[in-house]
Structure 1
Amino acid sequence: MSQYQAPLADMRFALHDVLGAEALFARLGFQEATRDIVDAVLEEGARFGEAVLAPLNKIGDEIGCSYDKATGEVATPPGFRDAYARYVEGGWPALTAPAEFGGQGLPHLLGVPVKEIIDAANLAWGNFPLLSHGATEALLHHGEDWQREVFLKPLVEGRWTGTMCLTEAHCGTDLGLLRTRAVPLDDGRYAISGTKIFITAGEHDLTDNIVHLVLARLPDAPAGSRGISLFVVPKLKVGRDGATGGRNGVRCGAIEHKMGIHGSATCVLNFEDAEGYLVGEPHKGLAAMFTMMNTARMAVGLQGLGLADRALQNALRYASERLQSRAPAGARFPDRPADPIILQPDVRRMLLTCRALVEGGRLLGYHAASLVDVAAHAPDPAERAEAEALLGFLTPIVKACLTEWGVECTYHALQCFGGHGYIREHGLEQLARDARITTLYEGTTGIQALDLVGRKLLQLRGAGLRAFLGMIGDFCDRHAGDPALAEFVGPLRGLAAEWEAIGRDIAARAQRDPEEVGAASVDFLFYSGYVALAYWWARSVATAQSPQHPEALRAGKLATARFYYARLLPRTLAHKAAIASGAGTLALPEADALG
């Protein structure tokens, strides 16, 4: 079985040393989020993840969720209900929620490492409370006062959980084709009817009530995405006074049998005149739902990060213990029958790849999370606006790159185990299977790439890219004369100029041929991700130079940064070449294109 230990030392390095979290929190008005409080939260989160959730990971995979066709009820794997009760008892659902609705009001950035711990310890379990945070955000920003009062408090307490009901069998990502309908009733309620698929935690036995946020069409809705409205539809009927009633007209019709995350219930939900309430304005539901979707996309990026880190931990331990053949330069441990495989260069290549992507990716994800706090609480409106633009730009990068790197790292870790990784005994094959979904749900990598290029680069004229380029420029200017950083500053400055030029080139070609957007998008996304990590690795080395840090940390960060710049950053060359090749290279013979 795979093991997990929360990487508290690197989490603290990222939060306190690189990102300066304590000073940031104080400036944003989170006076109670001192370093002592932050460290205490991390330590308690680690205990919960390691002692409560991690032991259930294999159980959830082997037993999975069960579905009762007669009742439509779903039972979670053994131990999941008790773990959720302990999660609620510990106050974890309320950690970053607003105080006026029963939350602790702590920064969003502090919730992110806790989320990473949960995902690494037990991804399937973590999916049950996952969307409650997104539902809270959607209702907080778009709900009526009474809706916030009635629905947010039990969500924040963890007494209820939330879902996001978008997809239907015939439409997938194209939500403009959805058919679920909402008929107005006389008292301000709506009768919701239709079928939604792939609903994470759509039915379970962890809480009595589940708050479904559902996209549907009103009778007078125009066609396409402009005719979509958002409704809150609870599993148990809920009045405006908060009183709960009998079972609503929503029933689980099936659960999916999946490649991974077996302990997570992925449901088909049938709505039959289910009573619900309109959230926000009629026909404006997609915009409201994007508040929840963007929160979920960031959260899924952390899932990829957590799985990659757990895989790396197990691969590093195994490679240090597994004896097989001799080191290339001769026996390092002649008294043993063989040397550990970590002495093989290719094994170190895989381990360093994982370490570079995990530790660099942690800073990428944590920085994006800090922007949520800045955008909401910075005293300067201009700073809030810039943070919002940069967050929008980084969200698809965080979601897509951290999940794709999560798949890469879990497969590298499995490879380190050889044939032992392919069998179930060590738990690596579960991590690889679980990681695969992260590139798919909450928008595939291709969808993230189209959002990045089509909307964030072109429609919004690259405001977020300019903000990131400004960060890189400031860093390079500050360290221009530092010989210890010269090997990073020069290449980083050159890549920043190239990044901007590639963006301009895509924009110019897209004006001549709209297919250039889709042809370039995925490569531009990965190019952006690798340059972003180059920046964070350079900052890591600069931060680690401080005398307060032990020599082992300084040497480790420097060695990993050099590996990243030498062996992973050159991937940008391939992505740049692919972008330059244009849409014409993607042409298919007509017979193939039409099937």
Structure 2
Amino acid sequence: MADYRVPREDMQFVLQDVFKVDKDWAQFEELAELDIETAVAIIDEGAKLAETLIAPNARAADEEGVQFNDGVVTTPKGYKENFKQLAQGGWVGVTANPEFGGMGLPKSISAQYEEMLCAADISFSLYSGLTAGAIMTIDQHGDDALKATYLENMISGQWTGSMCLTEPHAGTDLGIIRSKAIPNDDGSFAISGTKIFITGGEHDLAENIVHLVLAKLPDAPAGSKGISLFLVPKFLVNQDGSLGERNGVTCGSIEHKMGIHASATCVLNFDGATGWLVGEPHKGLPAMFTMMNYERLGVGIQGLGAAARSYQNALEYAQDRIQGRGAKATRDMAKEADPLIVHGDVRRMLLTMKAFVEGGRAFSTYVGQQLDIAKYAQDPAQKARAESLVQLLTPVAKAFLTDTGFEATVIGQQVFGGHGFIREWGQEQLVRDARIAQIYEGTNGIQALDLLGRKVAGSRGEMLKPLLDDIQALLAQPQAGLEKEYQQLAEATQIIAQVTKNVLSKVADDENIINSVAVEYLYLVGYVAFAYMWLRMAKVAEPLVTERPYLASKVKTAKFYMSRILPRIHGLVGAIEDGSESLYMHEVGEF
């Protein structure tokens, strides 16, 4: 596998030139002292960790995997030392509240850091990633006592966090969970039940693990409105902050998975474990969504990171590997064969990966920027608009970034030919590791239902308007040399508006239409959103090419995306127009 190199230059271009995030920071009191130079320095420091510490250990860690012995989980060689170094640098608390020792950085910066960490080693990234989400949830919904007891040690990486939702019989349908919380006399609760697929539920990287657990109180209403959220530590914490006795939570087993072998995916058994309510009774699901929404962008970035690593590997291989002869104009007769990169199909594959990776990097930054505005803005209208965009784009970020990320890892494997199927080249690990991102944190089909059903149809199309308005604002500022691309985006925007109108007009008469066309609709939004990202980048890059010649590739890749990838939407439109008819022609017994 090629050495991983963090694309520092492109990350700075996206932050500084495309989205001008420092202008946002200047107007937010909490971020007013942050400037682009500081952001670049932070990215550079994170890059050093990713390139020199984490990435070199990724393949060996995958080969070794996590080990389970009588309730004890041991992570691969190097993980414990690397996690300690990561924590000492403050990287677990990148976005966490400075009041408790966090860096307090905006999501637009942490998105870049998360990408490099995931590109280096997705398995390793999960331990700190889940902890960051737990920190945010406790900070936003926990009482002062919980914050004082847990946040500082979690932010420092001395303790980690996990998210405990899924049960053996209840995955997406959390309303039917069976875990119970019985009140104790001292205000705590006795938590009992079994949770499965718990990432980082048990390991040896930290001295304590803080579990956020969904359970139901005795008087809970039926369904999702009866779910409460509880904090359940692996070890109880004494009054003086030291660790006390082991709590009633144990790891029953770990899963043997297709990928992310170095990530401990646990079955956790809660047997009267002592826990504390986070937030209000029966309001656990909204509180957990604080964590889940950030995690869903984070999972999308996992797909992006895997794609970025796949592209780098495949590009280096295509430049070095000589095989066959290219067209006359590209032949080097001094050599026995030409490098793979001269061949048309290899270029198609490389450019597709490049388009997904750099488009995805811009999109994740765009979503991160909206999260920052929603969090820090004082103007109610500005805040509300950003919140609406976040709600709309979160399922797209999770699903589209992971689907295109997986596609890019498979394409990268294809560039390697037979070597892509061999373990030591590293490409098959990326394929395996990226695959889970399409499944957990809500399968991509569920994300599509959320987008079309709850967000677009639920708002009668109003929630889509801020995105379309942003696109129209770009289209109103033409750039010489990109006339064709502007027209292509304008036509795609008209298509998405018309398709949305058509789907909404059929909802009353076809109860199955949302479920039937949601995935195609999410892809439609995703491809158009990426087109918006690419034209936005190309518009900025075009005037800067003389000053920064490397940006010529940005403009050329934008043209490739518009001409070779964006047209995929036409096939999606045909499927959406079919509605539910072809899916529901069969009776159940006819399958």
Provide TM-score, normalisation by structure 2: 0.98
Q: CA deviation at 1:23?
A: 1.7
Q: Number of residues paired by the alignment?
A: 590
| Residue 505 of structure 2 is aligned to residue 504 of structure 1 | no
Residues in 1 aligned to 2:428 and 2:183: alpha-carbon distance in whole angstroms: 49
Q: Give the counterpart letter for 2:142 in structure 1.
A: G
Q: CA deviation at 1:374?
A: 0.4
Q: CA deviation at 1:505?
A: 1.7
Q: Tell me what 1:18 maps to.
A: 18
The verdict on how the C-alpha distance between 1:63 and 1:91 changes in structure 2, with shifts beyond 3 A counting, is same
Q: CA deviation at 1:552?
A: 2.9
Residues in 1 aligned to 2:13 and 2:505: alpha-carbon distance in whole angstroms: 41
Residues in 2 aligned to 1:207 and 1:257: alpha-carbon distance in whole angstroms: 22
Deviation readout 1:53-107 (Å, 9 max, x if unpaired): 00110011100000012xx110000000000010011111222211111112222
Deviation readout 1:240-276 (Å, 9 max, x if unpaired): 7645311000000000000011000000000000000
Structure 2 residue matching 1:195: 3-state secondary structure = strand
Q: Tell me what 1:522 maps to.
A: 519
Range that drifts further, 232-241 or 433-442:
232-241
Deviation readout 1:285-305 (Å, 9 max, x if unpaired): 111111111111010001111
Q: CA deviation at 1:239?
A: 5.2
Q: Tell me what 2:225 maps to.
A: 226
Structure 2 residue matching 1:254: 3-state secondary structure = strand
Q: Tell me what 1:537 maps to.
A: 534
In 2, are the aligned partners of 1:293 and 1:442 still within 8 Å (CA)? yes
Residues in 2 aligned to 1:242 and 1:549: alpha-carbon distance in whole angstroms: 59
Q: Tell me what 2:56 maps to.
A: 55
In 2, are the aligned partners of 1:176 and 1:224 still within 8 Å (CA)? yes
Q: Tell me what 1:39 maps to.
A: 40
Q: CA deviation at 1:563?
A: 0.7
Structure 2 residue matching 1:158: 3-state secondary structure = coil
Q: RMSD in angstroms over aligned alpha carbons?
A: 1.4
Residues in 1 aligned to 2:223 and 2:551: alpha-carbon distance in whole angstroms: 55
For structure 2, the residue ranges without an aligned partner over 5 or more in a row are none
Q: CA deviation at 1:202?
A: 0.3
In 2, are the aligned partners of 1:57 and 1:121 still within 8 Å (CA)? yes
Q: CA deviation at 1:28?
A: 1.9
Q: Tell me what 1:95 maps to.
A: 94
Q: Tell me what 1:491 maps to.
A: 488
Residues in 1 aligned to 2:371 and 2:403: alpha-carbon distance in whole angstroms: 23
The verdict on how the C-alpha distance between 1:436 and 1:545 changes in structure 2, with shifts beyond 3 A counting, is same
In 2, are the aligned partners of 1:341 and 1:347 still within 8 Å (CA)? yes
Residues in 1 aligned to 2:227 and 2:544: alpha-carbon distance in whole angstroms: 57
Q: CA deviation at 1:188?
A: 0.4
In 1, are the aligned partners of 2:545 and 2:552 still within 8 Å (CA)? no
Residues in 2 aligned to 1:176 and 1:362: alpha-carbon distance in whole angstroms: 35
Q: CA deviation at 1:575?
A: 0.9
Residues in 2 aligned to 1:202 and 1:539: alpha-carbon distance in whole angstroms: 41
Superposed, which structure 2 residues align to 1:313-328 within 5 Å? Answer: 313-328=312-327
Q: Give the counterpart letter for 2:517 in structure 1.
A: A
Q: Tell me what 1:281 maps to.
A: 280
| Residue 580 (structure 1) aligned to one of 574, 577, 582 | 577
| Residue 185 of structure 2 is aligned to residue 186 of structure 1 | yes
In 2, are the aligned partners of 1:228 and 1:286 still within 8 Å (CA)? yes
In 1, are the aligned partners of 2:6 and 2:116 still within 8 Å (CA)? yes
Q: Tell me what 1:416 maps to.
A: 415
Q: CA deviation at 1:22?
A: 1.7
Structure 2 residue matching 1:583: 3-state secondary structure = coil
Q: Tell me what 1:4 maps to.
A: 4
Superposed, which structure 2 residues align to 1:272-351 within 5 Å? Answer: 272-329=271-328, 332-351=331-350
Residues in 1 aligned to 2:327 and 2:256: alpha-carbon distance in whole angstroms: 46
Q: Tell me what 2:110 maps to.
A: 111
Residues in 2 aligned to 1:246 and 1:511: alpha-carbon distance in whole angstroms: 57
Residues in 2 aligned to 1:391 and 1:462: alpha-carbon distance in whole angstroms: 15
Residues in 2 aligned to 1:155 and 1:384: alpha-carbon distance in whole angstroms: 29
Structure 2 residue matching 1:586: 3-state secondary structure = coil
Residues in 1 aligned to 2:185 and 2:240: alpha-carbon distance in whole angstroms: 18
In 1, are the aligned partners of 2:90 and 2:155 still within 8 Å (CA)? no
Deviation readout 1:504-558 (Å, 9 max, x if unpaired): 2222212212210111110010000000011111111110023376453332112
Deviation readout 1:312-348 (Å, 9 max, x if unpaired): 0010000011111100336611111100011110000
Residues in 1 aligned to 2:417 and 2:106: alpha-carbon distance in whole angstroms: 42
Superposed, which structure 2 residues align to 1:359-438 within 5 Å? Answer: 359-438=358-437
Structure 1 residue matching 2:549: 3-state secondary structure = helix
Superposed, which structure 2 residues align to 1:110-129 within 5 Å? Answer: 110-129=109-128
In 1, are the aligned partners of 2:192 and 2:272 still within 8 Å (CA)? yes
- Name the % identity: 47
Residues in 2 aligned to 1:368 and 1:529: alpha-carbon distance in whole angstroms: 13
Q: Give the counterpart letter for 1:278 in structure 2.
A: L
Residues in 1 aligned to 2:546 and 2:353: alpha-carbon distance in whole angstroms: 23
In 2, are the aligned partners of 1:331 and 1:338 still within 8 Å (CA)? no
For structure 1, the residue ranges without an aligned partner over 5 or more in a row are none
The verdict on how the C-alpha distance between 1:433 and 1:81 changes in structure 2, with shifts beyond 3 A counting, is same
In 2, are the aligned partners of 1:74 and 1:205 still within 8 Å (CA)? yes
Q: Give the counterpart letter for 1:576 in structure 2.
A: V
Residues in 1 aligned to 2:171 and 2:23: alpha-carbon distance in whole angstroms: 43
Structure 2 residue matching 1:585: 3-state secondary structure = coil
The verdict on how the C-alpha distance between 1:120 and 1:331 changes in structure 2, with shifts beyond 3 A counting, is closer
Q: Tell me what 2:172 maps to.
A: 173
The verdict on how the C-alpha distance between 1:219 and 1:422 changes in structure 2, with shifts beyond 3 A counting, is same
Provide TM-score, normalisation by structure 1: 0.97
Range that drifts further, 544-553 or 343-352:
544-553
Residues in 2 aligned to 1:330 and 1:547: alpha-carbon distance in whole angstroms: 29
Residues in 2 aligned to 1:536 and 1:475: alpha-carbon distance in whole angstroms: 10
Q: CA deviation at 1:462?
A: 3.2
Residues in 1 aligned to 2:545 and 2:96: alpha-carbon distance in whole angstroms: 34
Q: CA deviation at 1:3?
A: 2.5
Q: Give the counterpart letter for 2:256 in structure 1.
A: H
Q: CA deviation at 1:32?
A: 2.6
Structure 2 residue matching 1:194: 3-state secondary structure = strand
In 2, are the aligned partners of 1:389 and 1:463 still within 8 Å (CA)? no
Deviation readout 1:227-247 (Å, 9 max, x if unpaired): 111101010013576453110
Residues in 2 aligned to 1:490 and 1:330: alpha-carbon distance in whole angstroms: 32
| Residue 553 (structure 1) aligned to one of 531, 534, 550 | 550
